[in-house]
Copies of this chain bind each other. A is one copy, B any other.
């Protein structure tokens, strides 16, 4: 069976793209199968040949979102431990801010109760692992204290996820100095996470 052009063409991909466009502009609640079908120029039940239901389409959007997040995190320079850790935090928050509606879908928790969609869980782990690997590298380099890896990863992820969510929803009152905020927050956490080897125990900022 050809995947290039059949009755209509690659309806699967077109529906995915159209749904992503609606998501970006109006959020996931504005995604309707009937609306997508109409804008593609196809009948609504045709979508059910490619997606089991509306939730499956949203899950696929979230999966591609996690893949994109993973790629953005993988592109962070990994030479200097401190720069890598701060860089990955900034990259994470930057992704959420560049795709707020997609990020809300990925972590909204309303769709797909976490164990229902194996591919979605795996995609989330793929992004999570990049963060964990960076922290493990910082530990092996002796930059981070040898606390349990799971604890440090959970802490770092909680921080960047919380900051992402709060900023894209406008909850932080003084979000004006936002880039400095992300860096300042990451640095503040790092000061509690670095190994105190009599080298950098105090305010050791490397920002101009």
Contact with B along A157-172 (1 / 0, CB 8 A): 1111111011011111
Contact of A107 among B128, B150, B154, B165 (CB under 8 A): B165
Residues of B within 8 A of A29 (CB): 110
Query: How far is it, in angstroms, between the C-alpha of A124 and the C-alpha of B170 when the chains are bound?
Result: 11
Interface residues on A, range: 35 or more
Q: Which residue of B lies closest to A125 (CB)?
A: B173
Q: B154 contacts A109, CB within 8 Å? A: no
Complex A-B: 21 CB contacts under 8 Å:
A27-B110, A100-B109, A104-B110, A107-B165, A107-B169, A109-B165, A109-B168, A110-B110, A115-B170, A147-B184, A155-B159, A155-B188, A155-B189, A157-B172, A158-B162, A159-B162, A159-B189, A161-B166, A162-B165, A188-B193, A191-B191
